Amino acid sequence: MRFQIHIRHSLFFLLSLHLLFSGCASISVKSTALESPDGTQKIEIGLDADQALHARVVRKGEVIVDSIRFGFVLQDAPDFGKGLNILEVSRRTIDERYPITLGRSREAHNHGNELILLLGETEAPHRKLEVHFRAYNEGVAFRYAFIEGGFSMPVSIVEENSRIEFPADHAVWSSVWEQPNNSNEAEFVKTRISEIESKGWIQTPVTVERDDGVVLSLYQAALKDYAGMYFRKVEDAAPAFQTRLVPKPEGGAPALAVITKPQVTPWRIIQTADRAIGLLDSEFILHFNPPSRIPDTSWIEAGKMTFPWWVAYDAGIEGVEAGNTFETTKAFIDFAADHGIRYHVVEPRWYETRGNIQDGDHAPDNSDPLKPLDEVRIHDVIRYAESRGVSIFLWIHQSLLAANTEEIMKTYKSWGAVGMKVDFFDRLDQETVELYHSLAEEAAEHQLMVFYHGAYTPTGIRRTWPNIVTREAVLANEYNKWSDRITLEHSLTIPFTRMVPGPMDYTPGGFRNVMPEDFKKNFYRPMVMGTRSRELAMFVVYDSPIQMICDAPATYRGAAGTDFMVEVPTSWDETRALQGEIGKYIAMARRKGNTWYLGLMVGNEARSFTLSLDFLEAGQHYRTIQWSDKAGGAPTELVRETGKIKGGPGATLTIEAARGGGATVRFEPLDP
């Protein structure tokens, strides 16, 4: 059966291409194609024997997606997807540059070609729908548009039948869940597509690798007024994923997304690269989101943040008792001020709460986020932080903020807070998606930054609302407190999976560095697997404009590598992805102003690297400072070396990295 399906698809496209180039008058309503500006990507589009829309993707002459299917299962209405004609075809070229407030670069170049098809049913009820396609040098995308007069409103969608079929049973890195309303904090496990549990909810992004090394990252962008998307594995076809919209946790009506007015759906993205490392050069996802709605973004600033929760509110300083008290918070603020760290986050419990914090039991009738606890002395905390040049973020449970958004934000701003850490969403239904947008918009009104925890993975909303400075949705350093899941392999898998669509709040900076065989769970003094230099490299490799540094002030003071950690930027003017292999190693270079930073991480094998320095300005001399593993030393030991190097063709740097090790290098231009 699978062989017959492939034959039918291939014959269809051969016929379509013949018609396309034969000059037949019926071509404009039967088939068409769209290419990227450089011709790398091509989407071939047409109608099959059932008059259902069908497409495939060709990259550099190779079919990388054998089939894309389209359509909807609707409530109280016939399904939409068969018996269609292509009524209109329109095209445009997109070529714009726009600023990025915080991220991998200061500017993005949105250059692609777009094709819009107007589809109409040949029989009653004669509904109409647009399907939009885009082809970029970096990948392809599609979405639907419910147009004025196309459907009788409201449209209640039970299932979106977008299906992506592959020509072979490729390797895939995926997080698969039993249910979709969760924290999105899990490993990305390598399997073949056929080996994925068919009933599982497959979290986006999904990274697919062909046998020739070409990779595809599948995710959603511009998610608004719609339910979020997971994938499911399709059993009755070629290796394939189908979209799976997320229901409300409490259940209810079968409709998962309700369209009440003309609108577009989120984009379904297929980003591609010759090798996995090529996924990390650009901010591709931002091209599909609306421009910033914040005219003046000068109040949105990147930086590092002290994070007392990771060490159980213990600064490690003699005479300062552990606990969420003013004196402990003051010790963290003092460390931040002394080391040029911009932010501190006040973590729970800091307001009146009768629920169980670990279970997220923070229903509005149990807590009051406008009543600070006496021992925290939140007003004194904020005043003291201001006096020392440190700004405060306040943690809050999302349900409380949703219930009283305007008053809470207005109050926190009046207290002097600059942002909020909003936690425990753990949902991706249409109602929650709208909450993300409304919270960001209201926060912008009060000039408050936000970052989301217990969140779904990025969809590019930070282009529209750049006050969303980072988000979690990653199995991160906090799990070292109670598990051994943050392995060397895992921390080298997430850059090529979870990080592809955007920032992740991993909270690096653990300075109790050990090899995996020596790791022990410790809730109060967590360890991290890998060397100190590897942990430092995370500040270059991992995207997060707000980087929470996780360890205690006493652990950092005078420790090897603290000088790099407190100095390295967290938002960049340019990014170059140099080398990498999923789960094994990665090397990234990033520029802030005229200074370049290089971060290198390796996994379970020691490696030798010769890295091209072609990102350095030709002819420019640079002073280098390198932090690397000490040969034969303990995981906490570093070698700090200075030197000089000249940029230009052929400039290279050789680094020997120990097992579980890494290196960081700063390249600072010298005056002529």
E strand or H helix at 300:
none
pLDDT digits (tens, 9 = 90+) for 258-270: 999 999 999 999 9
Band of residue 571 on the pLDDT scale cut at 50, 70, 90: very high
C-alpha neighbours within 13 Å on the C-beta side of residue 606:
10
Q: SS3 for 69?
A: strand
- Give the pLDDT score at 252: 80
HEC string of 338-395 equals HCCCCEEEECCCCEEECCCHHHCCCCCCCEEEEEECCCCCHHHHHHHHHHCCCEEEEE
Residues 294-305: what's their mean pLDDT? 98
**Is the pLDDT score of 192 beyond 50?**
yes
pLDDT digits (tens, 9 = 90+) for 75-122: 999 999 999 999 999 999 999 999 999 999 999 999 999 999 999 999
Give the domain ranges of the chain.
2-274, 295-473, 475-545+554-672
**Is the pLDDT score of 20 beyond 50?**
no
**Is the pLDDT score of 50 beyond 90?**
yes
- Considering the four listed CATH numbers 3.90.25.10, 2.70.98.10, 3.30.70.260, 3.40.190.10, the one that applies to the domain covering 2-274 is 2.70.98.10
- Give the pLDDT score at 13: 35
Q: Is 211 left (phi over 0), alpha (psi -120 to 50) or beta?
A: alpha
d(CA 266, CA 132): 11
What the block records as the tokens of 125 is 């009820």
* DSSP class of 535: H
Residues 200-223: what's their mean pLDDT? 98
- The identity of residue 85, as a single letter, is N
* DSSP class of 630: P
Distances from the Cα of 350 to the Cα of 51, 301, 413, angstroms: 60, 25, 17
C-alpha torsion 414→416→421→422, nearest 10:
0
- Give the pLDDT score at 244: 97
The per-residue DSSP string of 124-165 comes to: TT--EEEEEEEEETTEEEEEEEE-TTTSPSPEEEEEE--EEE
d(CA 205, CA 175): 9
Top-confidence residue, 30 or 4: 30
Burial state string for 180-215 with b = 16 or more CB within 10 A and e = fewer than 16: bbbbbbbbbebeebeebeeebbbbbbbbbbbeeebb
What the block records as the tokens of 354 is 């009768």
d(CA 511, CA 535): 8
Residues 523-546: what's their mean pLDDT? 98
d(CA 429, CA 223): 11
- Give the pLDDT score at 251: 82
What the block records as the tokens of 454 is 């217990």
- Give the pLDDT score at 27: 36
Residue 283 sits at φ, ψ, to 5 deg, of -105, 55
Residues 535-547: what's their mean pLDDT? 98
HEC string of 236-276 equals CCCCEEEEEECCCCCCCCCCCEEECCCEECCEEEEEEECCH
d(CA 31, CA 54): 9
d(CA 329, CA 333): 6
Residues 466-489: what's their mean pLDDT? 98
- Give the pLDDT score at 4: 31
Band of residue 18 on the pLDDT scale cut at 50, 70, 90: very low
Share of the chain above pLDDT 70, in %: 94
- Give the pLDDT score at 29: 58
Choose the weakest-confidence range: 74-78, 361-365, 645-649, 654-658. 361-365
**CB atoms inside a 10 Å sphere around CB 59:** 21
C-alpha neighbours within 13 Å on the C-beta side of residue 614:
7
First to last CA, the chain: 70
d(CA 425, CA 114): 35
Choose the weakest-confidence range: 7-21, 28-42, 105-119, 539-553. 7-21
| Topology adopted by domain 295-473 | TIM Barrel (3.20.20)
- Give the pLDDT score at 365: 63
Stated pTM of the model: 0.94
**Is the pLDDT score of 14 beyond 50?**
no
Q: Do domains 295-473 and 475-545+554-672 have the same CATH topology?
A: yes
Residues 282-299: what's their mean pLDDT? 97
User: Class of 475-545+554-672 per CATH?
Assistant: alpha beta
pLDDT digits (tens, 9 = 90+) for 306-358: 999 999 999 999 999 999 999 999 999 999 999 999 999 999 999 998 755 54
pLDDT digits (tens, 9 = 90+) for 364-413: 567 899 999 999 999 999 999 999 999 999 999 999 999 999 999 999 99
- Give the pLDDT score at 363: 52
- Give the pLDDT score at 366: 74
pLDDT digits (tens, 9 = 90+) for 29-46: 579 999 999 999 999 999
**Is the pLDDT score of 582 beyond 80?**
yes
d(CA 632, CA 635): 9
- Give the pLDDT score at 411: 98
Block residue for tokens 């190097």? 645
pLDDT digits (tens, 9 = 90+) for 110-169: 999 999 999 999 999 999 999 999 999 999 999 999 999 999 999 999 999 999 999 999
d(CA 40, CA 17): 18
Top-confidence residue, 281 or 593: 593
**Is the pLDDT score of 23 beyond 90?**
no
